[in-house]
Each structure stands twice: as structure tokens, then as C-alpha cells.
Amino acid sequence: MEELNLFIRSIFIDNMIFAYFLGMCSFLAVSKNVKTALGLGVAVTFMLVVSLPINYMLNTYVLQPGALAWLGEDFANVDLSFLALIMFIAVIASMTQLVEMAVEKFSPSLYASLGIFLPLIAVNCAILGASLFMQQKDFGSALTATVYGAGSGIGWLIAIVGIAAIREKLAYSNVPKPLRGIGITFILTGLMGIAFMSFLGIKL
Amino acid sequence: MVSKKISEVFFNPFSKNNPVIVQVLGICSVLAVTAKLEPAIVMGISVTAVLAFANVIISLIRNTIPTNIRIIVQLVVVAALVIIVDQVLKAYNYEVSKALSVFIGLIITNCILMGRLEAFALSNGPWDSFLDGVGNGLGYAIILVIVGFFRELLGSGTLFGFQVIPQAFYDLGYQNNGLMILPPMALITVACIIWVHRSRNKDLQEK
């Protein structure tokens, strides 16, 4: 039950895009049509689901103060938490390489349309951000961390597909010249964010 | 005398080629840390420092990095610098470090860094790269400060935590606009900046 609550919360209330603005760069750049947006969204969700449990294990058994106690008495006082950033990013970067190879093999058309943004998932703030939030929130088990990853990923997916659908329709409207392209996208994201705030206070 | 190229490298990012509103890089932190002015400035300085030194380091070793693994190398250099900044902030300004929470760590994935390292440091000398880093960092900081200024002024009526809007206004019925503090308004503030900037620089407008 607690997991379900976390899942719903991370999709709608703590949404990566609307509440924390994580992963905005690719969000803005790859949201020109729904198909590509969906592809990137799925890739990000997958990355989150894979990298969060690994980073959780890493954090619990290696990095936290006293986490190395399982190695013996001498290691009980070791605090490696300052290394967290570099370890997390290393896990994420290598996982990205894996996803990239898989996408290239199974869906060359998606690979071509994602272009530069596939390797850049490694520097997508949503993924590192989720790992850092996971560290901050002190989840009880790897399962909870995975659920959090899945929820955040699906929230990101909903956001990017939504904005891509709006931008496709936007091609037919008369936007003031200086606002065309990126400006109006910012305003739309803001309005969507306000809409998403109506989910605030939902509890299961 | 400063040559024309150098001054272009340094000053272009301020307006014509601003990393935030023209290249649209590093948006996450612009939006997330600007509810108050002080964290916005600290964030601007941190990014400038990391960017300048990462640019120099990558530029110094650019001929020895194998192309295939350059992203990993860049990430390691940036991550090391960010860890230093993070520890320094924790030591000397714990309050702000708490307010910025994960966003200092997220400098690693700030697209401005990867963008500048890829586009500039890999093909230019250390001194040019340093100027490019400082220029882009300041260009980023300017937007941060503008957004932070308006959000704090309109949202809480303060600047740097000091009351700016006089009590008399409140007595007359003026109210702080609580919406400015909320995340969505950051997006709309940036959109307004883009609007003003692009109506002055017509060549930047999109079709």
C-alpha cells in the first residue's frame, strides 16, 4: 500500500518536470512530435527503473556512513558519502551505453530519430536527480526505490507526450513572433504545471 | 589589447548567444533555484566556477582523450569539481547548501557544461576555454539573477530576505503574489524574458 501511494505521488504530485524541472533540456528539445517523445519517455523510464535499484544498493552497502560494516570491524566507521555523485553518474553512464546498444539493435528508426539525445540520457538530470532524491528520502528497500523510479519515469513520460501533442496542434495557431518555438513551450509547460498542481493533496 | 576573437568569446554569451535563453541549455536549475535571490546567486557562482575550470582541464587534456570515451572523461572531471564545490558550500554556507539540496549535485548533468565542453573546450586552447567558461557561466548567472529578482520581489516582497516593499503598501491592501513562489511561474517568467529578448533581437526569432 505504501508503495502504491509512493507510485501515484511520484507520477502526479512530485512530477519530475512540473515540480522539480528535471530533464528540461531534452524535454524541450525532443517534444516536437509525439512519436519521438514517446520513444524518449520510454527510454528514460527504463533507465530510471534500472539505475535506481543499483544506486540504492550502492548507497546502502558501500557509500552511507557505516555502510561498509559488513566488511568487518575496521570498516564500520568509514564514510564514503562524498563519493556518491561520482558513483551514481558512473552507473548511469554505463547503463545508458547498454540502452543505446539495445535500441540501436531492436529499433533503428527510433535510434535515428532520437539522435544525439540517446547518449545524452546520461546527462539527463531526471535520472541523476531521482538517484539523489532517493538518497535524501532514505527508502526502506530496493523495491521501494524501484517503484519510485518507475513512478518518476512514467510521470516524465506523461509530461513529454502531453507537451508534444500540444506542440503538434500549435503548428496551426498564430503565436506572436518572438514567442514562437521555445517561448510558447515554456508558457505551456507552466500552464500544465499549474494544472498538475490540482493533484496536490491526493492521498491513498 | 584584447583581440576581437577573445572579446567575442567572452561577451557573446551575455546576450546574443546566451546559454539559457538562446541555446536553451541548463534550464532545470534556472527554474528550480530561483524562488529566492540568494540561492540563485550562489548557484550562478558555483556553475561559473565549475564551468571555467572544467573547460580549462578538458582543454588541457583534449589531445589525449580517446573520442569514444570522452563523455565519461568529461563526466568524471565535472563530477570531481562539483564534489569540491558541494563540500565547500556545506562547510561555509550550510543554509544555502540546504536550500539548493540536490541541485548542486545536478550541476554535473547541467547541459551547459556538456554543451560547452563538447562545442568549445575540445577544440580550443586553455585560455580561450577559460574565458568561454566564465562568459557562459556569467551569461547563465545573469538570467538566474533576473528570474530570482522578480520572483522574490513579487512573491515575498523581499530581496535577499530583507523587506523591500514598504508596510504602507500592505496597509493599502497590496498582497504578495504567492503564485510567483510556485514552480510553474518560473517557467512563465523565463518565457517573458525570452519574449523581450527576442523582440529586441529579431534575427533570433523562429519561423
Q: What is the pLDDT of residues A119-165, one digit of tens each?
A: 667 777 888 888 888 888 888 788 888 999 999 999 999 999 999 99
Kind of pairing between the strands at B158-159 and B162-163: antiparallel
- 3-class DSSP state of B63: coil
Q: Does A65 touch chain B (CB under 8 A)?
A: no
Contacts of B75 (CB under 8 A, 6+ apart): A89, A90, A93, A122, A123, B108
Inter-chain Cβ pairs, chain A and chain B, closer than 8 A: 136
- Residue A62, C-alpha cell as written in the block: 558501500
Minimum distance, in Å, between the CA of residue A49 and any CA atom of chain B: 19
**Which H or E run contains A104?**
helix A84-106
Number of neighbouring beta carbons within 10 Å of residue A83: 15
Best probe of the B interface among A121, A182, A198, A200, by most B CBs < 10 A, is A182
Q: Could you give the CA distance from residue A195 to residue A197 in angstroms, rounded to a whole number?
A: 5
Residue B191 · residue B24 · CB < 8 Å: no
Minimum distance, in Å, between the CA of residue A130 and any CA atom of chain B: 10
Residue B133 · residue B51 · CB < 8 Å: yes
pTM: 0.83
* Position A93, amino acid: A
Q: Does B87 touch chain A (CB under 8 A)?
A: yes
Q: Does A180 touch chain B (CB under 8 A)?
A: yes
Q: How far are the Cα atoms of A120, B14, B43, B169 from residue A133, in angstroms, in the given order?
A: 20, 33, 19, 40
- Residue A78, C-alpha cell as written in the block: 568509514
Cα B41 to the center of its chain, rounded Å: 9
- Residue A14, C-alpha cell as written in the block: 512530485
Q: Is the ipTM of this complex over 0.85?
A: no
Spell out the per-residue pLDDT of chain B, length 207, in tens: 456 777 777 777 777 778 777 777 778 777 778 878 888 888 888 889 999 999 999 888 888 888 777 777 888 888 889 888 888 888 888 888 887 777 888 888 777 888 888 888 888 888 888 888 888 888 888 888 888 888 888 888 878 878 877 888 888 878 887 788 888 888 888 888 888 888 888 777 776
* Over residues A28-37, mean pLDDT: 82
